[in-house]
Structure 1
Amino acid sequence: MTWMDRISLFQPLDYVALAGVFVAWFGLTWVIEHANPKRPSVSHLMAQYRREWMAQMITRQPRVFDAQMISTLRQSTAFFASTSVIALGGTLALLGNSERLSTVVADLALTDLPTVAWEFKMLLPIIFLTDGFLKFVWSNRLFGYCSVLMAAVPNEVDDPRAPVLAHKAAEINITAARSFNRGLRSLYFALASLGWVIGPIMLGFTVVFTVVIVWRREFTSQSRRILLENGAL
């Protein structure tokens, strides 16, 4: 089967829905990370608290609490990286048993498509899972960099290098958190992309549902209101 034959297996609505997935994915990330300062996202608010954390670390003696916090963050990234690999392996295993997959999804979608069409649809969650895994691994490494910078901050409060190194540690911490959040969004969209198995309309519904959930958590959630109480840092 040539590429043209495979392309002809899908309707124009499939390509519209597929384009919508990536537009929503990139667009949501851009809106969250470039939010209006007058209406900041939870990610922006937490970035301010991370800077304050590193500033407070300079005078905290001993710094056992800070080390434990970084260790916890690294464990979280390692957990989600492992989860992404397991989910990726399961999805690839489904592709290895494509005949059974096509039988099951044909009953759900009520359509009769060849096996290659279902295999192509399963590539979408694989893309998101792979991206999520890479983001979590990079986040884990950045938190490792942050721990090294934190250890380099002098114990003497009056040392002029302390604020500079603490600021660097804060920015690396924020970058690691940004990568972690992007990985989480990739997992969200990996789940949403499974809607394509049923059809393009269901894919559109699951993507819109995912966007609404993430948007609410970043801009209208109770946790955001708590962070804004008495003014942000």
Structure 2
Amino acid sequence: MTIFAQFQFFTLLDLLAVVYLVLAWGVLGHVIENPPASRVSTSLLVAQYRRDWMVHMISRKPRIFDATVLATLREGTSFLASACLIAIGGGLAAMSNAERLRGVAADLSIQAPEIIWEVKILLPLFFVTNGFLKFIWSNRVFGYCGVVMASVSNDEDDPQALPRAQKAGELNITAAKAFNSGLRCIYFGLGALTWLLGPVGLLLGTTVAIYIMLRREFFSQTRSILMREDL
């Protein structure tokens, strides 16, 4: 059977499900980073706290607290980058093990060529790989932020103190955006795994991923707490 004949096992519903997943990934990321003024996302709310943090850092002596928080943020990016790298290795190992793929097909009572299963594994691998790159970049930008933070004087009368603190704040926000983008890749990567159950599974998995992210960004208790000014 030729490769083109093998791809005939994909249906129009498969194509629509993949397009739905990719469009949801792109559109949701844009909406979260550029939310409507009437409903600000949790990520955008925290961004303002990051700016305030850097301004208050100017007069904080010593800055052990600030260094600890930044180190914790970098550890989070390192951990998730490592987890993504392990997932990528596992996915590639599964693709190279044809016998295992045939076993999965038999367990699901689905008859399909091995290349179909390999393509279905490639889709979540795409998201996990993109997430890995985002986490690596986030870690690096948090490092840049730390360098700029270290250059901020404790003297509030220093004319460079506030501009550099504000610069550190923007770097912190940029790193957080890359981190959040990596997290979205993980969510959609998990949703993409449901393609192994068929196109309907992919549609449902993508919808669940969208629901979870929308709820956490726009309707979560965390967001409600950040919005309150009386706490």
Normalising by structure 2, we get a TM-score of 0.96
Shift of 1:2: 5.3
1:200 aligns with 2:199: yes
Match of 2:40 in 1: 40
Query: Matched residues, percent identical?
Result: 50
Match of 1:11 in 2: 11
3-state SS of the aligned residue for 1:8?
A: helix
Shift of 1:136: 0.2
1:219 and 1:114 map into 2 onto residues whose CA distance is 42
Alignment-mate amino acid for residue 156 of structure 1: D
3-state SS of the aligned residue for 1:194?
A: helix
Instruction: State the superposition RMSD in angstroms.
Output: 1.4
Match of 2:56 in 1: 56
For these two proteins, the number of residue pairs brought into alignment is 231
1:179 and 1:199 map into 2 onto residues whose CA distance is 31
1:140-180 CA distance string (max 9 Å, x none) = 00000000000011121111101100010000000000000
3-state SS of the aligned residue for 2:175?
A: helix
Shift of 1:98: 2.2
Alignment-mate amino acid for residue 189 of structure 1: F
Alignment-mate amino acid for residue 85 of structure 2: V
Match of 1:219 in 2: 218
2:132 and 2:58 map into 1 onto residues whose CA distance is 33
Match of 1:77 in 2: 77
1:104 and 1:4 map into 2 onto residues whose CA distance is 22
Larger displacement relative to structure 2 (45-54 or 6-15): 6-15
1:37 and 1:114 map into 2 onto residues whose CA distance is 49
2:162 and 2:6 map into 1 onto residues whose CA distance is 58
For structure 2, list consecutive stretches of 5 or more residues without a partner in the other structure. none
Match of 1:98 in 2: 98
Normalising by structure 1, we get a TM-score of 0.95
1:179-206 CA distance string (max 9 Å, x none) = 0000011011111101000100010000
The answer to whether the 8 Å contact 2:6/2:113 transfers is no
Larger displacement relative to structure 2 (65-74 or 91-100): 91-100
The answer to whether the 8 Å contact 2:144/2:171 transfers is yes
3-state SS of the aligned residue for 2:157?
A: coil
Alignment-mate amino acid for residue 46 of structure 2: M
3-state SS of the aligned residue for 1:157?
A: coil
1:175 aligns with 2:142: no
The answer to whether the 8 Å contact 1:129/1:186 transfers is yes
For structure 1, list consecutive stretches of 5 or more residues without a partner in the other structure. none
2:46 and 2:193 map into 1 onto residues whose CA distance is 31
Larger displacement relative to structure 2 (167-176 or 36-45): 36-45
Match of 1:161 in 2: 160
The answer to whether the 8 Å contact 1:106/1:113 transfers is no
1:136 aligns with 2:135: yes
The answer to whether the 8 Å contact 1:150/1:165 transfers is yes
1:159 and 1:6 map into 2 onto residues whose CA distance is 69
The answer to whether the 8 Å contact 2:105/2:112 transfers is no
Alignment-mate amino acid for residue 130 of structure 2: D
Shift of 1:38: 2.5
Shift of 1:6: 4.2
Shift of 1:105: 3.2
Alignment-mate amino acid for residue 126 of structure 1: L
